[in-house]
Amino acid sequence: MKIEHLKSDSADCPLIRLYDLDAGELSALLSLAQELSCGTIDRAIVNKRANFPGSDDPVLEFRRTPHDLGVTRIGEKAFALSLSEETWATVQGLIEGVARTSDADTFQWLWGANSYVGGDKGAIAVLLSNSQAGLW
């Protein structure tokens, strides 16, 4: 899995892009969303949970909060996606859709103006792409 922060490379920016996931990483991401939606955990760092080696990639933390706060910068190269249990349940379904497909060019907006779950235009969006190149 790779995680990138794209500031202005397209009209959809700014965004955090998760891409080039293998089946295990996608499964770990799905489990994480499920645990957040059930209230089993309050937070987890995606990079550590998926055991991915990208030391130069931004750190992405998922958090369960009473209300949807979206993406906030929590460090120079660190971000948090803070959503309610209900919204994490929706995000879980979005991740499941990507996990179920065999199409290598599938993508899904997990948060942002293009997503089913909100986010204002201009706010940092979160994109999950099945593509090795991170296409959407």
Report the predicted TM-score, pTM, of the whole model to 2 decimal places. Answer: 0.91
Query: Is 18 inside any structural domain?
Result: yes
Query: Is 8 inside any structural domain?
Result: yes
User: For residues 12 and 112, what is the distance between their CA atoms, to the nearest angstrom?
Assistant: 9
* Average pLDDT, integer, range 2-29: 90
Query: Is 116 inside any structural domain?
Result: yes
- Rounded to the nearest integer, the mean pLDDT of the chain is 90
Domain that holds residue 83: 2-129
* Average pLDDT, integer, range 61-79: 95
Structural domains of the chain, count: 1
Query: Is 134 inside any structural domain?
Result: no
Query: Is 135 inside any structural domain?
Result: no
User: First-to-last CA distance in the chain?
Assistant: 16
